[in-house]
Amino acid sequence: MKFNRWVYASIGVIILLFSGLVYAWSVIAIPIKAYFSNWTNAQLSLTFTLCMIFFCISGVFSGLLSHKISPQKKLLSAAVLFLVGFWISSQAESLPALYLGYGVLAGTASGVAYNTTISTVTALFPDKPGIISGILLMGFGLGSFLIGKIYQRFTLPGAGFRRSLLIFGIVLFIVIALSSFLLPKETIQKNQLQAGKNTEKGFTPQQMLRTKTFWYYFVWATLLSGAGLILISQAANIAAQVSAGISAGLLSTIVGLISIANGAGRVFFGYLFDQVGQERTIRIIELIFAVGILFLMITLRSHHDSLMIASFIFGGFAYGGITPTNAAFIESAFGRRSFPINFSLINLNLVISSFSSTFSGKLADATGSYFLILVCMAGMVLIGSFFGQGVKKRAAAVDMSPQANEYKG
């Protein structure tokens, strides 16, 4: 079945909207923490860390298999993994079971769905790498807010989270399985390989990994993603500390503003990348992130709800700019030739940055405060800005056009 490419984009947004549910962990964990009161913040945060690790690992395998397995089959496998993962999570009586269900299986499912959808749909938009990445990733970011709100609204106290997780597993299976039949059956690259005329140009993974530009950008993305993941994983706890006695519904809404801003940031920065390029986009992301962290530091001292809301919006908006910049940077700098695997390689920064959520949980347990965590976030953005400058200075080492087709050192 063939559609206009914007219809495929809409289908991709739907897939990523539901796949992004795993990012709602800070909300999903609240009733789990209340039920298993002996589980610490650090132990629960490790669930999200594992989820991000397997999200990245599965993305790499999905990219490696892009020429061998159709997008439809990969999405169907993701649907099954979501179903099994959320079922195990719903029955969990121990941390290892939660780690397996939510961390390993759901994280793997999300990574496969993410890489497959981004690679398949962006191939249809070679003229708009930034904006299409932003639109697709907006769906991924908003998923944690919209579906997280539904989870919070209908999850009953006590063991009610079990029923909610099981229902979500079933819904994810149905939506992603049905959507898989509506995307192109084969990737553009696979069709070209089968026809013996691969006209795509660009860097192979080996060539890309030998450039300084990739590694400077990789460190930048790792540090800023780490700061963003700290904000996401600890947002509910920070809001509760700022506003003692806040209701669960209002807490979910305030934390959800991060996801709304995240989604808006993905579209905005994707568009901005197409208009002004990677260098200015990186600078603007850093600036907005720094302002958000500063506001949050002041909030912890002043306990002003309005300033906390502003800080969440700024932080979420800036963090939202990293993922579309990743995708647009990889395509514009290194071409479409090996985009699925090259894209998954840049996303490996999340394997490292995901440990920041576990670290922040341990720090919160040890100090009982979140101010030192914010200091760490500020340091990560500051150090990241130096590596961002490195990308700028070394941009000439790489042909930044989509037609780049040879290794230049």
Choose between 391 and 14: higher pLDDT. 14
The sign of the dihedral angle between the CA atoms of 362, 366, 371, 372 is negative
Residue 402's pLDDT band, with cuts at 50, 70 and 90, is very low
Q: Give me the pLDDT at residue 398, please.
A: 47
- Distance, in Å, from the CA atom of 107 to the CA atom of 404, rounded to the nearest integer, reads 33
- Distance, in Å, from the CA atom of 210 to the CA atom of 84, rounded to the nearest integer, reads 39
Q: Give me the pLDDT at residue 85, please.
A: 96
| Residue partners of 230: CB distance under 8 A and separation at least 6 | 356, 357, 359, 360, 373, 376, 377
Q: Give me the pLDDT at residue 12, please.
A: 93
- Exposure string over 289-298, b if 16+ CB within 10 A, otherwise e: bbbbbebbbe
Mean pLDDT of 289-295: 93
Q: Is residue 388 part of a domain?
A: yes
Q: Are 344 and 62 a contacting pair, CB within 8 Å?
A: yes
Q: Is residue 407 part of a domain?
A: no
- Exposure string over 377-388, b if 16+ CB within 10 A, otherwise e: bbebbeebbebb
Q: What is the DSSP string of 153-184?
A: HHPPSTTHHHHHHHHHHHHHHHHHHHHHTTS-
Residue 203's pLDDT band, with cuts at 50, 70 and 90, is confident
What phi and psi values does residue 346 have, to the nearest 5 degrees? -70, -30
Q: Is residue 404 part of a domain?
A: no
Per-residue pLDDT tens over the stretch 232-251? 778 877 887 777 666 666 66
Q: Is residue 12 part of a domain?
A: yes
Q: Is residue 123 part of a domain?
A: yes
Q: CA angle, 370 as apex, 228 and 389 as ends, to 5°?
A: 35
Q: Is residue 409 part of a domain?
A: no
Q: Is residue 224 part of a domain?
A: yes
pLDDT at 406 exceeding the cut of 70: no
Whole-number average pLDDT of the chain: 83
Q: Is residue 406 part of a domain?
A: no
Range of the domain at 190: 5-397
The CATH code of the domain that includes 123 is 1.20.1250.20
Comparing 7-11, 290-294, 330-334, which segment has the lowest mean pLDDT? 330-334
Q: Considering its fold, how many domains does the chain have in total?
A: 1
